[in-house]
């Protein structure tokens, strides 16, 4: 396998323009001769489907939920970045580019990130034109807020539901094309395999989740936009159906998987209540603007927070990082919370939480001001925990939130399988080793609205295959493999439930491949995962049949893939012995105990190639070069 990122030559600001000029085009009349499959209808998938259909391609869009409007992008709260500089505070395309590269701890491509920053402005234009009701100033202009990792205000938002409003915009655009007959919408479908023929992606196998039927879909190109794999950890802020299945199946068919160990852990989530916790809820990072993080000074102090005097509280972030204080980046905040809890200073029923205290802010600004800023978040918190954060400090704890890793793609968003394109959180993307707040929405929409519609034509124009026949042997053989797998799952009839295995895997990953990692733990995980997997295939219970709606079967398939994929994650984490971004190797820290990158050995993207079952995957490195920014160690003290 050869990784060619196809980065255009020329100065950074001109690369994208030049590249678009160099790409081959397809005339409007000819576009209708091409079929494109889009798997996933979150922000990335819906925006791509609509934009491709507008150009004239025949698009078929699939998603798991009953409607594309429910893709997990809907849950994004905080906002979307763009370099509009409406605040006149010194923002620019270059600054957005720089912040994103630095926030990612220098593990992403300059050319990609610069393009993302360039496109960011068009995204806002597009969404506003669709009627997305972004927050506005009294004068009628668009409002901005600030977010972590940036010193300018560049985040556009719609209350606490930016993702929802953006997705409804993209969904509207998609439904318009459905009405026009350019998009065939297939909801409640799960992609279970990729069909590769003569080295090119030619289609997919899906399960109709209602009838259970296995269907073959052929196309000239396949686009995967199936989101992130945070649910490998069982508990995460992701939706229940978020999975790795589509991308992992593609990996097994030859697509390289890049940086799988780069998983972002968000510091401010509502703590788990117990063993039956099914998912975690994010509390926006904006809370750290006014909340002070603390734990009791003495380990094991079980007193109510109000009974702990000021002198016996440890405001550890403020002490350790005087210049950033409570606003250190997500990974730093999370790791420090873990450190405190490991030292026995955690609070809450499980001892895994820390306090986020608004009482000083309320004293300073008044209850009303603070409620105005965070009222909806406070309500959400109260709904779940039955506690009012204005009376008693909020309890928060870190949770798996976003996956920077994903299928490797070149500058055109094409994976190592020709004809297979990957968008949104599903690709290894532009966020390097750590994503900044409000930039995932930007990236998903940049990919879907602007990048793929420009690049896919060039691939299609060069295609020699004109018709795709789904009755061909490759399709049938792939479908049979899927069928066998399903039959095996249904036939196992063991004694442990699917969630039981999933929870076990999640706990293991959380412990050994979570906020901090070390060689010993990773090796242990690597030894245990195959054992869990082995037991899964012999002892799982999957009730019901394959010929009907069977949610247990759906989950079983996803967990089976997590069980294989987790190994790749751990292998990646093991091989990257540096600390970078969210990947904190305990062995690699500086004198200050903080993370230390190793640019001499790890300034690369680690792309893993499937090399056969129970064989160690093969590592391919894509070297990263930085010509426009200077590599520096992050420091927040």
- Contact set with ligand FAD (CB under 6 A): 39-45, 62-65, 71-73, 75-80, 162-163, 189-191, 225-228, 237-238, 242-243, 245-246, 282, 401-402, 424-426, 438-441, 444
Quick one: 86 or 94, whose CB is closer to another protein?
86
Site residues for another protein, 287-316, by CB under 8 A, read none
Catalytic residue among 70, 107, 288, 330: 330
What residues have CB less than 8 Å from 521, skipping those under 6 apart?
Answer: 511, 512, 513
Quick one: 108 or 120, whose CB is closer to another protein?
120
> How many CA atoms lie less than 13 Å away from 180 in the CB half-sphere?
17
* Residue 172 Cβ vs another protein, minimum distance, rounded to whole Å: 3
- Using alpha carbons, select from 438, 575, 431, 555 the residue that is nearest to residue 502: 555
Binding status of residue 43 toward another protein by CB under 8 A? no
The enclosing H or E element of 48 equals helix 43-55
Binding status of residue 86 toward another protein by CB under 8 A? yes
Residue 333: alpha-carbon gap to chain centroid? 19
Site residues for another protein, 389-448, by CB under 8 A, read none
Q: Which two tokens stand for residue 63?
A: 């998603």
User: Looking at 133-141, 257-265, 294-302, 313-321, which segment touches another protein (CB under 8 A)?
Assistant: 133-141
Site residues for another protein, 376-395, by CB under 8 A, read 380, 383-384, 386
* Residue 249 falls in the annotated catalytic set: no
Among 235, 241, 244, 446, binds another protein (CB under 8 A): 241
Is there a contact between 85 and 92 (Cβ–Cβ < 8 Å)? Answer: yes
The enclosing H or E element of 139 equals none
User: Looking at 118-126, 428-436, 528-536, 592-600, which segment touches another protein (CB under 8 A)?
Assistant: 118-126
User: Looking at 131-139, 360-368, 518-526, 580-588, which segment touches another protein (CB under 8 A)?
Assistant: 131-139
Residue labelled with tokens 């992992």: 248
Three-state DSSP state, 144:
coil
Q: How far apart are CA 536 and CA 534, in angstroms?
A: 5
Give the contact letters, 186-225, x = binds to another protein (CB under 8 A), - = no.
Answer: -x----------------------x---------------
Three-state DSSP state, 354:
strand
Binding status of residue 352 toward another protein by CB under 8 A? no
Cα dihedral sign, 424-427-430-431: positive
**Buried/exposed 479-491: b ≥16 CB within 10 Å, e otherwise:** beebeebbeebbe
375 binds, among ligand FAD, another protein, none (CB under 5 to 8 A by kind): none
Q: Strand 618-623: give its sheet, edge to edge.
A: 406-407, 257-258, 604-609, 618-623
* Residue 209 Cβ vs another protein, minimum distance, rounded to whole Å: 10
User: Looking at 171-179, 255-263, 366-374, 481-489, which segment touches another protein (CB under 8 A)?
Assistant: 171-179
171 binds, among ligand FAD, another protein, none (CB under 5 to 8 A by kind): another protein
Q: How far apart are CA 48 and CA 226, in angstroms?
A: 12
Q: Catalytic residue positions?
A: 330
């Amino acid at each position: 396998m050869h990784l060619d990122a196809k980065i255009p030559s020329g100065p950074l600001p001109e690369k994208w323009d030049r590249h678009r000029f160099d790409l081959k085009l397809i005339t409007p009349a000819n576009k209708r001769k091409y079929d494109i499959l889009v798997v996933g209808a979150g922000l990335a998938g819906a925006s791509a489907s609509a934009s491709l259909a507008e150009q004239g391609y025949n698009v078929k869009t699939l998603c798991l939920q009953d409607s594309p409007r429910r893709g997990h992008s809907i849950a994004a709260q905080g906002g979307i970045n763009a370099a509009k500089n409406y605040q006149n505070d010194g923002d620019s395309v270059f600054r957005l580019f720089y912040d994103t590269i630095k926030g990612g701890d220098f593990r992403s491509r300059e050319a990609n990130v610069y393009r993302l920053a360039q496109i960011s402005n068009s995204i806002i234009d597009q969404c506003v034109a669709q009627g997305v009701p972004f927050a506005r100033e009294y004068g009628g202009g668009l409002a901005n807020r600030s977010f972590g990792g940036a010193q300018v205000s560049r985040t556009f938002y719609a209350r606490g539901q930016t993702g929802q409003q953006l997705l409804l915009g993209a969904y509207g655009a998609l439904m318009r094309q459905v009405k026009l007959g350019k998009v065939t919408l297939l909801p409640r479908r799960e992609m279970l395999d990729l069909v590769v023929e003569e080295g090119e992606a030619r289609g997919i196998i899906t399960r109709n989740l209602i009838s259970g039927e296995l269907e073959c879909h052929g196309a000239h190109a396949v686009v995967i936009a199936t989101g992130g794999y945070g649910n490998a950890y069982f508990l995460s802020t992701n939706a229940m159906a978020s999975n790795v299945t589509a991308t992992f199946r593609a990996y097994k068919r030859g697509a390289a998987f890049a940086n799988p160990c780069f998983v972002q852990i968000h510091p401010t989530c509502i703590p788990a209540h117990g063993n039956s916790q099914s998912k975690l809820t994010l509390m926006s990072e904006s809370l750290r603007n006014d909340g002070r993080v603390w734990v009791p000074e003495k380990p094991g102090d079980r007193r109510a927070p109000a009974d702990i005097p000021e002198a016996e509280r440890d405001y550890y972030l403020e002490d350790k990082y005087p210049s950033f204080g409570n606003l250190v980046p997500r990974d730093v905040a999370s790791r420090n919370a873990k450190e405190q809890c490991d030292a026995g200073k955690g609070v809450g029923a499980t001892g895994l939480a820390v306090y986020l205290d608004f009482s000083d802010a309320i004293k300073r600004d008044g209850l009303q001001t603070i409620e105005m800023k965070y009222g909806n978040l406070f309500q959400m918190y109260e709904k779940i925990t039955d506690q009012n954060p204005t009376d008693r400090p909020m309890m928060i704890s870190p949770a798996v939130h976003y996956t920077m890793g994903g299928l490797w793609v070149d500058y055109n968003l094409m994976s190592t399988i020709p004809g297979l394109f990957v968008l949104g959180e599903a690709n290894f993307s532009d966020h390097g080793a750590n994503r900044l707040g409000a930039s995932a929405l930007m990236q998903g929409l940049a990919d879907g609205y602007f990048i793929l519609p420009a690049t896919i034509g060039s691939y299609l124009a060069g295609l020699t295959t004109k018709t795709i026949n789904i009755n061909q042997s490759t399709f049938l053989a792939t479908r049979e493999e899927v069928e066998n797998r399903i039959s095996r799952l249904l036939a196992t009839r063991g004694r442990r439930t699917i969630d039981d295995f999933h929870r076990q895997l999640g706990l293991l990953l959380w412990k050994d491949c979570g906020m901090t990692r070390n060689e010993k733990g990773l090796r242990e995980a690597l030894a245990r995962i195959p054992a869990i997997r082995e037991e899964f295939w012999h002892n799982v219970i999957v009730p019901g049949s394959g010929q009907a709606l069977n949610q247990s079967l759906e989950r079983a398939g996803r967990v089976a893939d997590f069980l294989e994929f987790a190994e790749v994650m751990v292998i990646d984490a093991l091989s990257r012995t540096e600390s970078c971004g969210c990947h904190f190797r305990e062995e690699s820290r500086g004198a200050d105990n903080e993370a230390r990158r190793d640019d001499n050995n790890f300034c690369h993207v680690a792309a893993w190639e499937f090399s056969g079952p129970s064989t160690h995957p093969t590592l391919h490195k894509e070297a990263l070069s930085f010509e426009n920014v200077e590599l520096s160690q992050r420091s927040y003290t």
